[in-house]
Each structure stands twice: as C-alpha cells, then as structure tokens.
Copies of this chain bind each other. A is one copy, B any other.
Amino acid sequence: MAEGDETEVRAANTGTLGKAMAVLELVALADRPLRFTEILARAGQPRATLHRQLGHLVEEGLLELNADLCYEPGLRMLKLASASWARSDLRRLAAPHLQALHELTGETVHLGVLRDAEIIYLDKVESRQAVRMASQVGKTSPAHCTGVGKAALSLLSAERLHRLFGGVELLGFTPTTITARDALEAELALIREVGHAFDREEHEAGIRCVAAAISDQQKTFVGGISVTGPAYRVGEDVLQAWAPLVRNAAAAISEEIAVRLGPRP
C-alpha cells in the first residue's frame, strides 16, 4: 500500500532490525547514559514496544542496563567492530603508505572513507602524543568541511552529490567552513582539477590539512588520506609543499586497490 514518494525515501525497509538499530544508535551516540523515559521521548515509539526492544538489545550485549536504570553501549559492538577493523583490506593495504607519509611530514596522517555525507576514519598515524591513540579511529566527521571529505566528494557524480546534500543544510563549524551549496561545488571542481583538497580550519579552528582521494577505477569506492597539523606549524606554503606527497600516496593506494580487484582478463 501507498508506494508514495519514489523520491529517495531515506527510511529503510529493514523491518524489525532497522528499528532496533535506530534505538541502538540513539543510545550509542548520546553523550551520556540514558534513562528509559529519555529514550522513549526521542525514539517516537510506544512504551511497551521500546521496552521490549531495549530488552532484546541488552540481552544481545549491544546495550547494557546499569544499576541506575540507565542504558549504555555494550561491549558486543566493540568486539564486532574490532574484528572487522582488523581485517579491513583497505586499511592493511594503506598502512605502509600512511606510515611513509608520516615520516616524510612529521605530522598526523589519516585514512578515511565516505559513508553517506560523513567521513569515517579508519586509521591514523601520529607522533607520540599525550592524546589517546585510538581516539580517532571510527570517528566520523562531516564530509563537506574536512580534507578527506572534500577530496572524496570531488569524485562523486553531480547526481550522487545532489542526493547526499539534497535537502540538508551545510553546517558551519568555523568562519571558514563552506556552507553555500554553490561554493562547495566550485571547491569540488577545483579539487577535481588539481587532485588534492585543503582544509583551512574549516572544521576545527587552528587545524589545517591537505588530502587526496582514493578510489578504484570505477569510482565505486571513495575514500581519502590526509596530513593534518596545527595552523601555527602548517602555513600555506607547507600545505602546498605537501600536496604532491599526499597525491602520490593516494594514487599509489588507488593503484594497489585496482591490482587487488584484479585485472579482469
């Protein structure tokens, strides 16, 4: 019934699983443990239904219900995520290139892939720091204001871009964030031309980076790598100097992907 909007219906047809995942995500991405009622308010689901869903999620180890009756992320997710991360082909294949890039530049190097309008960081190499190490792996950032993100977006078709950013607004994070649709398109065209993307404090103040896209020949997969550093250390000249290094590394990785996918005979 009601086939309705053919217009890119975002709501997936994943039945029970989809609803459970929505609840899981709600809790996992919250910034603190949530009470039943808080979840109820945000989940838009009848009490009894939500109650059972939460019960199932807890029983599966995806959530935990602590002594204060607050729901928290469970450990099962960590296990699953870790296992899949460990065998990510892209990550393994890119690792030496990241390392090399780090040694050349001395700054932090990231590997990220595009998922919807977000970049998910898969790996990073950084100098010994006080900052916790894995802190960035699995983290997501908006694509339109990060180096890796813009590099990845630059390879998408106009149509796919339109789908991603169709109705939504481009959030601004700093004074330099690109928030106008047409400005972003111009930026992407430029990036496509020169082969690398800059992030000049567009996501976080005081942080600059150079990035280049990774893709297989059909541009089915899109991700990218970047070198990031604090603005006081990374001036415009430095960004420009690093650009070719990043481009080369990205190209090398893209090539290896192509080889792995096999030269169809």
A interface residues, Cβ below 8 angstroms from B? 12-18, 20-21, 24-25, 28-29, 31-32, 53, 56-57, 59-62, 67, 72-88, 95, 113, 115, 120, 122-123, 128, 132-135, 137-140, 220, 261
Q: Which of A72, A95, A133, A261 neighbours the largest number of chain B CB atoms within 10 Å of its CB?
A: A133
- Cα-based distance from A20 to B56 in the complex (angstroms): 12
Given B14, B31, B78, which contacts A87 in the complex, CB threshold below 8 Å? B31
- Cα-based distance from A115 to B28 in the complex (angstroms): 19
Given A73-B84, A134-B133, the answer on whether A140 and B56 have CB atoms closer than 8 Å is no
Asked if A138 and B81 make an inter-chain contact with CB atoms under 8 angstroms apart, the answer reads: yes
Asked if A15 and B56 make an inter-chain contact with CB atoms under 8 angstroms apart, the answer reads: yes
Asked if B25 and A80 make an inter-chain contact with CB atoms under 8 angstroms apart, the answer reads: yes
B residues within 8 A CB of A12?
Answer: 59-60
Asked if A79 and B14 make an inter-chain contact with CB atoms under 8 angstroms apart, the answer reads: no
Total identical chains: 2
Asked if A77 and B67 make an inter-chain contact with CB atoms under 8 angstroms apart, the answer reads: no
Chain B residue nearest in CB terms to A15? B56
- Cα-based distance from A264 to B138 in the complex (angstroms): 37
B residues within 8 A CB of A18?
Answer: 56, 59-60
Given A56-B14, A82-B138, the answer on whether A67 and B113 have CB atoms closer than 8 Å is no
Asked if A133 and B133 make an inter-chain contact with CB atoms under 8 angstroms apart, the answer reads: yes
Q: Which of A32, A57, A87, A138 neighbours the largest number of chain B CB atoms within 10 Å of its CB?
A: A138
- Cα-based distance from A25 to B84 in the complex (angstroms): 10
- Cα-based distance from A113 to B74 in the complex (angstroms): 11
